């Protein structure tokens, strides 16, 4: 059968949608095997994510984390580096935020705290990516293994710090003290309440806007700066980059530091925006979700924002699902993430030959017979 | 040397054998896969899947052997999935591996809760449904000899069957890779798949067989973790051992015997660090528990960073083979 090369829209929109559909199909089969109705489950999830104002707020709050971690994974992918250490980098980024806020929340005004906290989040996140980056660039150590080891190390480090350093004396739970409300990021419902508009309370806060700005900045950086060009060149072909006079070692370092800094920003949303204290395991898999988000968003900031909202919906809907159907646990969302990574990352073009044949059916007259269109 | 020090050494070495077992099995799995040119990050996920399935089946049937069999079937299926993505569809092998790890991490808990309603754990197994320590022949006779007896009964002996299978797998891996025609071809396909293809041998079929063997080995490794070393499945119980095995494989330069020694070294340091828990060290004081728990991961990074990190991988490792038309 004749094949028709796919138009751009099919490549950018249709194939990702097919991949999501396949992932949800597999998830549906799993839900059926557990003995629940998959259609009802997905309906509950959709309702939970978009059906009421509070749910939408939660969806966007989760999406904020995924935009940061997704951008982090994507920027590394552009240099063909696979950073699966977003989990640890976000965790340590949150540590940076907490250190700044614990030190200055009673001293400095909010407008001075915010840039300091952002700086700390990025610095700490970047620092946690620095050693794996250096080892990849100068020692050739497998970055996938080293970054995942750093996730484990971060987790142990944070347990130690929370249990021995940050814990409130006399308290049983390993948490820091709560920051002064002066250091809290304004939430969306508080912001609107100032103008007398009633918005359902949710953890959605200013960092969603910061995440969107980060997306624009990453877009400018990757496609409109010299370094961005160098990063894409290294990702395309290391020898070519070397011949062009680009230091691949330097680019690996820059890329990974930026990647770590972006992942660390998730700490702004979680620590400064929602939890208002340092606590255990606040990253809750957001770093790994960033991988799925970046793959589905085709490493483009716009795609990442859209897929972040989808994953935000999965997280929020998944929480409601566990409530409605106790037989299905939250980890179903983790599994769905895995399926999406599989279909949109490793089996990206499985559907392509089929689609090409399908398009071949509809396009009867071959384009070659027509005169080329002049522009 | 006083007596307590002596028993400490014996028990540390005995623990080394037990802790190293899943690392050795997973490292051999990695060698088969990567020698054929398929990078396998999903060793971790396969260990975890094997651990879950074996514990679940053993809990339901009461048979450790059925658990082992079911675990091997499931890990082979995961291998087929990895092969389908990376051999048939030339997908990114690292991404496919990470996807499998995340799928398993989610699914083991989802199924665990749906089946057993114990927040992701499987029921605690009776000894009859586990692999229990064996006594080597002549333990009574040799055990009474001072040092040799301890070595024979406590370090070499006194382990369960899967520990011995792990060490046997090293010899078997070496024999298959270096002494059989299949092994020669498998190594060739990892270095130069085009040459193998030109000789009329199917690259895909060779690689599929390699990842299937990796599936069998990780299935045994996972079974060991949950129903031999422990008595139930606990969520995320593989705890990065698949990645540490990959590091051991790299440190061992993709060779079975050196990779086994690398695994034993990781195991020894792990066993040693458990012994250090709560021990006061002169001048430093007590080492925090978390530092000890982080040690295997720090060591993995250190070893990858050392000279061995530069070890030469099979030439076609991680590169999909696209047949020219």
Which three-class secondary structure string do you get for A126-190? HHHHHHHHHHHHHHCCCHHHHHHHHHHHHHHHHHHHHHHHHCCCCCCCCCCCCCCHHHCCCEHHH
Structurally, how many domains does chain A consist of? 1
- CA trace torsion A297, A298, A299, A300 (10° rounding): -70
Q: Burial level of A240, CB count in 10 A (0-12/13-18/19+)?
A: exposed
| Contacts with B303 from chain A: Cβ below 8 Å | none
Residue bearing tokens 């559909």: A21
Higher-confidence residue: B157 or A284? A284
CB contact under 8 A, A337 and B102: yes
Region A226-244: what's the mean pLDDT?
93
Count the helix, strand and coil residues of chain B and give each as a percent rounded to the nearest 5: 75, 0, 25
Three-state DSSP at B281 gives strand
pLDDT at B282: 67
SS (H, E, C) B172-221: HHHHHHHHCHHHHHHHHHHHCHHHHHHCCCCHHHHHHHHHHHHHHHHHHH
pLDDT at A365: 54
* Residue of chain A nearest B81, judged by CA positions: A342
- Dihedral-angle region of residue A298 (phi above 0 means left; psi in -120 to 50 means alpha; beta otherwise): left
B217: closest CA among B67, B16, B21, B63? B21
Least confident of A14-23, A217-226, B74-83: A14-23
For chain A, what percent of residues have pLDDT higher than 90? 70
Give the number of A-B residue pairs with CB atoms closer than 8 Å: 152
Rounded distance between C-alpha atoms, residue B168 and residue B151, angstroms: 19
Inside any domain, residue A368: no
Rounded distance between C-alpha atoms, residue B183 and residue B234, angstroms: 36
The model's confidence at residue A194, banded by pLDDT at 50, 70 and 90, is confident
Q: The pTM is what?
A: 0.90
B238: closest CA among B15, B92, B23? B23
Is the sign of the CA dihedral B33, B38, B40, B43 positive or negative?
negative
| Contacts with A327 from chain B: Cβ below 8 Å | 113-114
In degrees, rounded to 5, the angle at the alpha carbon of residue A119 between the alpha carbons of residues A104 and A94 is 75
pLDDT at A371: 46
Rounded distance between C-alpha atoms, residue B233 and residue B54, angstroms: 9
The answer to whether the beta carbons of residues A68 and A211 sit under 8 Å apart is yes
The answer to whether the beta carbons of residues B40 and B86 sit under 8 Å apart is no
Inside any domain, residue A253: yes
Rounded distance between C-alpha atoms, residue B24 and residue B76, angstroms: 18
Boundaries of domain holding A107: 63-296
Least confident of A100-104, A303-307, A357-361: A357-361
CB contact under 8 A, B101 and A131: no
CB contact under 8 A, A141 and B301: yes
Rounded distance between C-alpha atoms, residue A64 and residue A289, angstroms: 12
Least confident of A198-202, A223-227, B213-217: A198-202
Interface test with A, best of B30, B297, B298, B317 (most A CBs within 10 A): B297
Rounded distance between C-alpha atoms, residue B45 and residue B81, angstroms: 12
Tell me how close the Cα of B307 comes to any Cα of chain A, in angstroms.
Answer: 8
Which residues are within 8 A (CB) of B274 and not within 5 positions of it... i.e. 6 or more apart? B15, B292
Eight-state DSSP code of residue B232: S
Tell me how close the Cα of A103 comes to any Cα of chain B, in angstroms.
Answer: 25
The encoded tokens of residue B252 equal 């061992």
| A77 close to B (CB below 8 A) | no
Residue B322: Cβ within 10 Å count: 10
pLDDT at A352: 79
Region A318-323: what's the mean pLDDT?
88
The encoded tokens of residue A93 equal 């980024």
Say how many residues make up chain A: 375
Q: Which backbone phi and psi does B158 adopt, to 5 degrees?
A: 80, 10
Residue in B94, B290, B301 closest to A144 by CB:
B94
H/E element holding B52?
A: helix B43-61
| A84 close to B (CB below 8 A) | yes
In degrees, rounded to 5, the angle at the alpha carbon of residue B57 between the alpha carbons of residues B53 and B59 is 115
Rounded distance between C-alpha atoms, residue A367 and residue B105, angstroms: 48
B275: closest CA among B294, B292, B296, B297? B292
| A329 close to B (CB below 8 A) | yes
Inside any domain, residue A142: yes
CB contact under 8 A, B240 and A160: no
pLDDT at B271: 87
Which residues are within 8 A (CB) of A318 and not within 5 positions of it... i.e. 6 or more apart? A45, A48, A330, A332, A333
Higher-confidence residue: A219 or B305? A219
Inside any domain, residue A126: yes
Eight-state DSSP code of residue A205: B
* Inter-CA distances, A61 with A64, A65, A67, A69, A266, Å: 5, 7, 10, 13, 11
Which residues are within 8 A (CB) of A36 and not within 5 positions of it... i.e. 6 or more apart? A325, A327, A328
Model ipTM value: 0.90
Q: Which residues on adjacent β-strands are paired with residue A205?
A: A187
CB contact under 8 A, A145 and B300: yes
b/e burial code for range B101-121 (CB count within 10 A of at least 16 → b): bbbbbbbbbbbbbbbbeeebb
Rounded distance between C-alpha atoms, residue B115 and residue B137, angstroms: 41
| Contacts with A142 from chain B: Cβ below 8 Å | 246, 250, 304, 309
B210: closest CA among B298, B110, B127, B87? B87
Rounded distance between C-alpha atoms, residue B187 and residue B201, angstroms: 13
Tell me how close the Cα of B99 comes to any Cα of chain A, in angstroms.
Answer: 5
| Contacts with A163 from chain B: Cβ below 8 Å | 290
* Inter-CA distances, B140 with B10, B15, B82, B150, B154, Å: 18, 21, 48, 11, 12
| A136 close to B (CB below 8 A) | no
Rounded distance between C-alpha atoms, residue B9 and residue B15, angstroms: 10
> pLDDT below 50 — which residues of chain B?
none
CB contact under 8 A, A159 and B290: yes
pLDDT at B119: 83
The pLDDT tens digits for A45-89 are 999 999 988 999 999 999 999 999 999 999 999 999 999 999 999
pLDDT at B2: 62
H/E element holding A83?
A: none
Residue in B84, B98, B304 closest to A341 by CB:
B98
| Contacts with B309 from chain A: Cβ below 8 Å | 135, 139-142
pLDDT at B194: 92
* Residue of chain B nearest A138, judged by CA positions: B305
b/e burial code for range A140-165 (CB count within 10 A of at least 16 → b): ebbbbbbbbbbbbbbbbbbbbbbeee
* Residue of chain B nearest A162, judged by CA positions: B290
The answer to whether the beta carbons of residues B102 and B78 sit under 8 Å apart is no
Inside any domain, residue A10: no
CB contact under 8 A, A141 and B304: yes
| Contacts with A281 from chain B: Cβ below 8 Å | none
Does the pLDDT at position A201 exceed 70? Answer: yes
| A182 close to B (CB below 8 A) | no
Eight-state DSSP code of residue B125: P
Q: Which backbone phi and psi does A205 adopt, to 5 degrees?
A: -140, -175
pLDDT at A370: 45
Residue in A146, A327, A335 closest to B304 by CB:
A146
pLDDT at A189: 87
pLDDT at A369: 44
User: CATH says B3-310 is which class?
Assistant: mainly alpha
């Amino acid at each position: 059968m004749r094949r028709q090369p796919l138009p751009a829209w099919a490549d950018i929109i249709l194939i990702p949608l097919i991949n999501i559909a396949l992932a949800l199909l597999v998830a549906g089969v799993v839900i059926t095997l557990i003995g629940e109705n998959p259609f009802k489950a997905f309906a509950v999830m959709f309702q939970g994510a978009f059906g009421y104002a509070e749910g939408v707020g939660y969806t966007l709050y989760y999406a904020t984390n995924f935009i940061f971690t997704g951008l982090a994974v994507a920027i590394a992918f552009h240099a063909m580096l696979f950073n699966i250490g977003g989990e640890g980098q976000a965790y340590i980024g949150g540590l940076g935020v907490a250190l700044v806020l614990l030190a200055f929340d009673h001293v400095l005004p909010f407008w001075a705290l915010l840039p300091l906290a952002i700086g700390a989040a990025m610095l700490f996140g970047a620092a946690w990516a620095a050693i794996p980056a250096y080892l990849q660039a100068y020692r050739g150590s497998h970055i996938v293994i080293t970054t995942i080891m750093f996730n484990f190390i971060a987790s142990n480090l944070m347990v130690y710090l929370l249990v021995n350093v940050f814990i409130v004396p006399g308290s049983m739970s390993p948490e820091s003290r709560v920051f002064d409300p002066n250091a809290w990021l304004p939430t969306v419902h508080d912001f609107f309440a100032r103008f007398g508009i009633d918005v359902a309370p949710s953890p959605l806060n200013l960092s969603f806007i910061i995440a969107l700005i980060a997306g624009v900045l990453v877009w400018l950086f990757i496609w409109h700066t010299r370094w961005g060009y160098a990063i894409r060149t290294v990702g395309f072909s290391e020898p070519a980059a070397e011949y062009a006079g680009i230091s691949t070692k330097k680019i690996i370092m820059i890329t990974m530091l930026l990647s770590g800094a972006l992942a660390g920003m998730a700490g702004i949303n979680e620590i400064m925006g929602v939890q208002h204290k340092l606590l255990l395991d606040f990253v809750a898999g957001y770093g790994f979700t960033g991988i799925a988000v970046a793959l589905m968003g085709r490493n483009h900031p716009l795609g990442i924002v859209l897929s972040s909202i989808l994953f935000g919906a999965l997280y929020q809907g998944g929480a409601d699902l566990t409530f409605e159907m106790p037989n299905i646990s939250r980890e179903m969302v983790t599994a769905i993430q895995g399926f999406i990574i599989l279909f949109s990352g490793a089996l990206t073009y499985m559907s392509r030959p089929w689609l090409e044949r399908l398009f071949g059916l509809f396009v009867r007259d071959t384009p070659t017979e027509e005169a080329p269109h002049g522009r | 040397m006083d007596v307590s020090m002596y028993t400490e050494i014996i028990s540390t070495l005995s623990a080394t054998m037990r802790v190293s077992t899943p690392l050795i099995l997973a490292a051999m799995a990695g060698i088969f896969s990567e020698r054929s040119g398929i990078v396998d990050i999903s060793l971790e996920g396969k260990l975890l899947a094997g651990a879950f399935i074996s514990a679940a089946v053993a809990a339901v049937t009461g048979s450790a052997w059925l658990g082992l069999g079911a675990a091997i079937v499931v890990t082979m299926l995961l291998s087929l999935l990895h092969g389908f993505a990376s051999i048939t569809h030339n997908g990114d092998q690292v991404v496919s591996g990470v996807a499998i790890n995340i799928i398993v991490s989610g699914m083991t808990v989802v199924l665990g809760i749906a089946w057993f309603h114990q927040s992701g754990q499987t029921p605690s197994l009776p000894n009859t449904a586990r692999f229990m320590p064996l006594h080597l022949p002549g333990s009574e006779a040799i055990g009474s000899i001072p040092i040799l007896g301890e070595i024979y009964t406590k370090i070499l002996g006194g382990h369960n069957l899967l520990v011995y299978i792990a060490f046997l797998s090293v010899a078997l891996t070496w024999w298959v890779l270096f002494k059989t025609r299949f092994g020669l071809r498998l190594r060739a396909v990892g270095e130069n798949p085009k040459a193998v293809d030109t000789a009329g041998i199917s690259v895909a079929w060779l690689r599929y067989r390699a990842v299937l063997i990796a599936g069998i080995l990780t299935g045994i490794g996972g079974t060991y973790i949950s129903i031999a070393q422990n008595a139930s499945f606990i969520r995320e119980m593989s705890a990065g051992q698949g990645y540490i095995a990959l590091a051991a494989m790299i440190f061992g330069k993709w060779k079975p015997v050196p990779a086994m020694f690398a695994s034993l070294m990781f195991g020894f340091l792990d066993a040693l660090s458990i012994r250090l828990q709560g021990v006061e060290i002169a001048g430093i004081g007590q080492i925090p528990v978390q530092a000890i728990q982080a040690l295997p991961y720090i060591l993995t990074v250190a070893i990858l960073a050392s000279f061995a990190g530069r070890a030469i991988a099979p030439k076609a490792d991680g590169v999909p083979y696209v047949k020219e038309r």
